[in-house]
Chain A
């Protein structure tokens, strides 16, 4: 027995020591080689970029025809230039010469055409909005996309990751992607679902060749675990940490805290279909009753800016002249009284025709700051005599409630420029076709002028005119208040201080890994 116990103990000790050695070796290797370990909570649902394109784009192993710069403007990428016919229906893209796919085959107009045709089918929910009639290739480096109506947002749609160029060798005989072969500064090496994606440097890249040899993106859903990995230097970049966690690194010399305002707004959508929010005055009253500054300071630790309109002011498409709703409880009470809501029984809750003003606020916990924001709003609304019941359900369940109309207010963190043009968000969230469907914006809200302006903007080629039209839409939306914009997002990533050149993108388009170096 003694001998058996001894053997067991030695075996256990060996496992423990072996584990320690392996881990230490890996850490030492990380420090000597140019491998960047980066971690976020997202795991792509598919290896097929035409189905799930954001990660191939962010990890830079596949590229789109057009890119997006740090102001959110469209810039050349695989297409070096493009022009549109005078009627706005024919787009001619001139492709970059000398570009090679990672398997050594040439990037040509014909390959891009096949890739685009496939992506338009695979991601029809996004690209179905493009009124495309045909794609032609007059020569090896020219791609012509014909539309049945003017559609100036076409290049913006073609910057979405789902439209990346893939080499014919990426597919098996049935047309499924087995290994994505792109053109980017990194080459796809491996993918383990829910675990990691590994890419290696492409030394033959047509543009700036990356400095790091390898990038390992690790999927870590828990932010506390990402923090621990950063503390133990198992990773060098921890993406999307909450303000309270990121705050702890500001004083540490070993780490760098990076803040990036992004194109995402936290907002409340009102159910304009039923009482009390079918009344504009009540919607405006809520806007006045919310102390946006307090939410940013108390819940977001100061990371974020109060919102006036739909787009954050750093983006071209934002209407910077919109006057924000100020925090004014007296004005809110006055508007509510005008709408017929008074405290007739003196219980502190407003009522109308014997019915108390009790509303439900639905939100979801996947964006961790939303439930505490909902709680603060609940307290703030109580000050003007509104009783609020909170319903915190997971994203899909809360979305199902919303789509059934089982809510009064819906608190959401809405991404705005995944297609870096207002067309998609306006059509989905503010045009009556979108608001009557499953959008995330103004619920069951209809405004003829807004509909006309959005339709006009999507078929007008002149960018300045479009900007004016969208400015007007933004102004009407704020005035009519089918939604209440609260604040804009700031993404916070923390890196170890030896990482240079890591740069967050305001539209979440890229991680700019090709410019990252490890000191």
Chain B
């Protein structure tokens, strides 16, 4: 039965990917610039490729065909890993994405780690001391975090961590230390919401009947929270954080430019500002693919952790 649920999810994922690929394909059709000419500029290493060669490639790429034929030809190339060429760098789009992806992946992962380490304990503390001092501080922190634009937060962290404290590098790449400030910046919004969800979920869980039973059995408060409440209260938090992993990838667009990280976000910004359409498409497809895969993963985790979801599926 679980297999059927997984297959169902995979089928949904394929549908989403087809939809995204159609949107991405529309970008080529609506953008200025001739993909055949761009490809030839890259492969022949010349600014003005011969007109006959452009016409031949037009035919091969199906650029003069009706849109659905053209789309099918394009998607078949994409499936085979041919995402075209960057007209700026003359390198293949796939090569560009492979170069940029690890940076963004590191940035997003460390951000997730930060938000988990900071938001979960604070959310629990706020729930256990409802309307107390810690709860008020957490609420205030979360409002400040949510209302601060990323660019502003980035500058504040740069000033604080890079200049006044002088312990973190401000920009560029090197070791893990180069990811601390950008990851903290990126995790600020996530921390605010995760903290609130953790708090609400913990409060709700503590109000459940089985909690009352556990207390009646004489279990200590610590044991009740650790053994019974935490696992159930964490579930919505994990699901939220999982779905936000994709959002974090999107947030990387600003952060990577400010902190000069050569990741996927910066690649996308560069390709948009220079109308490097094949790189633009490649980045969009990659972002979409990551979000879809993460959602699938979150669904599977939820299926594993939450018996009620399994029951619904069955």
Mask of A398-426 contacts with B, CB within 8 angstroms, 1/0: 00100000000000000000000000000
A84 to chain B, nearest CB (A): 28
A382 interface residue, CB < 8 Å from B?
Answer: no
Mask of B127-141 contacts with A, CB within 8 angstroms, 1/0: 000000000000000
Contact B169 A234 (CB under 8 A): yes
**Which B residues are CB-close (under 8 A) to A395?**
273-274
Task: Answer whether A15 and B47 are a contact pair too, CB < 8 Å, given A8-B117, A45-B88, A400-B32.
Answer: no
Task: Answer whether A229 and B170 are a contact pair too, CB < 8 Å, given A16-B180, A125-B47, A219-B260.
Answer: yes
B123 to chain A, nearest CB (A): 15
A131 interface residue, CB < 8 Å from B?
Answer: no
Query: Chain B interface secondary structure, helix, strand, loop or mixed?
Result: loop
Contact A23 B47 (CB under 8 A): no
Task: Answer whether A194 and B259 are a contact pair too, CB < 8 Å, given A16-B167, A124-B47.
Answer: no
Task: Answer whether A195 and B32 are a contact pair too, CB < 8 Å, given A12-B117, A20-B167, A228-B159.
Answer: no
With A and B bound together, what is the CA distance between A24 and B22 in angstroms? Answer: 50
Interface set, chain B 270-287, CB cutoff 8 A to A: 270, 272-275
Closest to B166 in A: A232
B76 interface residue, CB < 8 Å from A?
Answer: no
Contact A19 B89 (CB under 8 A): no
The residue that A22 contacts in the complex, of B171, B177, B267, with Cβ under 8 A, is B177
With A and B bound together, what is the CA distance between A57 and B99 in angstroms? Answer: 26
A218 interface residue, CB < 8 Å from B?
Answer: yes
Interface set, chain B 165-210, CB cutoff 8 A to A: 166-177, 180
With A and B bound together, what is the CA distance between A224 and B257 in angstroms? Answer: 11
For A, the interface residue count at a CB cutoff of 8 angstroms equals: 44
Closest to A218 in B: B172
Interface set, chain A 10-58, CB cutoff 8 A to B: 12, 15-16, 18-20, 22-24, 26, 45-46, 51
B155 interface residue, CB < 8 Å from A?
Answer: yes
Contact B171 A229 (CB under 8 A): yes
With A and B bound together, what is the CA distance between A26 and B175 in angstroms? Answer: 12
A57 to chain B, nearest CB (A): 19
**Which A residues are CB-close (under 8 A) to B32?**
396, 400
A370 to chain B, nearest CB (A): 14
Contact A51 B90 (CB under 8 A): yes
The residue that B275 contacts in the complex, of A12, A220, A232, A396, with Cβ under 8 A, is A396
Contact A193 B273 (CB under 8 A): no
With A and B bound together, what is the CA distance between A481 and B120 in angstroms? Answer: 66
For B, the interface residue count at a CB cutoff of 8 angstroms equals: 41
A396 to chain B, nearest CB (A): 4
A122 interface residue, CB < 8 Å from B?
Answer: yes
A148 interface residue, CB < 8 Å from B?
Answer: no
Contact A46 B89 (CB under 8 A): yes
Contact A195 B172 (CB under 8 A): yes
Closest to B260 in A: A220
Closest to A196 in B: B172
B262 interface residue, CB < 8 Å from A?
Answer: yes
B161 to chain A, nearest CB (A): 9
With A and B bound together, what is the CA distance between A124 and B41 in angstroms? Answer: 11
Task: Answer whether A19 and B177 are a contact pair too, CB < 8 Å, given A51-B45, A394-B272.
Answer: yes
**Which A residues are CB-close (under 8 A) to B257?**
221-222
The residue that B158 contacts in the complex, of A15, A46, A122, A225, with Cβ under 8 A, is A225
Contact B99 A123 (CB under 8 A): no
**Which A residues are CB-close (under 8 A) to B155?**
224, 228
B78 to chain A, nearest CB (A): 23
Contact B48 A125 (CB under 8 A): yes
B106 to chain A, nearest CB (A): 13
A172 interface residue, CB < 8 Å from B?
Answer: no
B46 interface residue, CB < 8 Å from A?
Answer: yes
B163 interface residue, CB < 8 Å from A?
Answer: yes
Mask of A217-240 contacts with B, CB within 8 angstroms, 1/0: 011111011001101101000000
A192 interface residue, CB < 8 Å from B?
Answer: yes
A138 to chain B, nearest CB (A): 30
A1 interface residue, CB < 8 Å from B?
Answer: yes
A7 interface residue, CB < 8 Å from B?
Answer: no
With A and B bound together, what is the CA distance between A19 and B159 in angstroms? Answer: 16
A397 interface residue, CB < 8 Å from B?
Answer: yes
With A and B bound together, what is the CA distance between A219 and B257 in angstroms? Answer: 11
Closest to B162 in A: A232
With A and B bound together, what is the CA distance between A128 and B46 in angstroms? Answer: 11
The residue that B177 contacts in the complex, of A8, A18, A225, with Cβ under 8 A, is A18
B258 interface residue, CB < 8 Å from A?
Answer: yes
B226 interface residue, CB < 8 Å from A?
Answer: yes
A121 interface residue, CB < 8 Å from B?
Answer: yes
Contact B170 A228 (CB under 8 A): yes
**Which A residues are CB-close (under 8 A) to B158?**
225, 228
Mask of B241-275 contacts with A, CB within 8 angstroms, 1/0: 00000000000000001111010001100101111
**Which A residues are CB-close (under 8 A) to B172?**
195-196, 218, 220
Contact A24 B166 (CB under 8 A): yes
Closest to A18 in B: B177
Interface set, chain A 328-370, CB cutoff 8 A to B: 366
Task: Answer whether A22 and B175 are a contact pair too, CB < 8 Å, given A228-B162, A395-B273.
Answer: yes
Interface set, chain A 273-320, CB cutoff 8 A to B: none
**Which A residues are CB-close (under 8 A) to B90?**
45-46, 51
Contact B163 A231 (CB under 8 A): yes
Q: Which of A16, A26, A45 has most chain B Cβ within 10 Å?
A: A45
With A and B bound together, what is the CA distance between A22 and B169 in angstroms? Answer: 9
Task: Answer whether A218 and B177 are a contact pair too, CB < 8 Å, given A45-B90, A124-B48.
Answer: no
**Which B residues are CB-close (under 8 A) to A1?**
226
**Which A residues are CB-close (under 8 A) to B272?**
394
Closest to B226 in A: A1
Contact B171 A228 (CB under 8 A): yes
Contact B46 A193 (CB under 8 A): no
Closest to A11 in B: B117
Mask of A170-214 contacts with B, CB within 8 angstroms, 1/0: 000000000000000000000011111000000000000000000
B226 to chain A, nearest CB (A): 6
Contact B258 A222 (CB under 8 A): yes
Q: Which of A219, A229, A394, A397 has most chain B Cβ within 10 Å?
A: A229
**Which B residues are CB-close (under 8 A) to A397?**
275
Closest to A394 in B: B273
Closest to B118 in A: A12
CB<8 Å pairs between A and B, sample of 15:
A1-B226, A16-B167, A19-B167, A19-B169, A20-B177, A22-B174, A23-B167, A193-B89, A195-B172, A196-B172, A221-B257, A222-B257, A229-B170, A394-B275, A397-B275
Sample of 8 more A-B contacts, CB < 8 Å, known A218-B172, A396-B32, A396-B274: A16-B180, A18-B177, A20-B177, A51-B45, A192-B173, A195-B173, A225-B158, A395-B274
Binding site for B on A (CB under 8 A): 1, 8, 12, 15-16, 18-20, 22-24, 26, 45-46, 51, 121-125, 128, 192-196, 218-222, 224-225, 228-229, 231-232, 234, 366, 394-397, 400
Binding site for A on B (CB under 8 A): 32, 45-48, 88-90, 99, 117, 155, 158-159, 162-163, 166-177, 180, 226, 257-260, 262, 266-267, 270, 272-275
* A-B pairs with lowest CB-CB distance, top 9: A19-B177, A20-B167, A194-B262, A125-B47, A396-B275, A220-B260, A45-B89, A45-B88, A394-B273
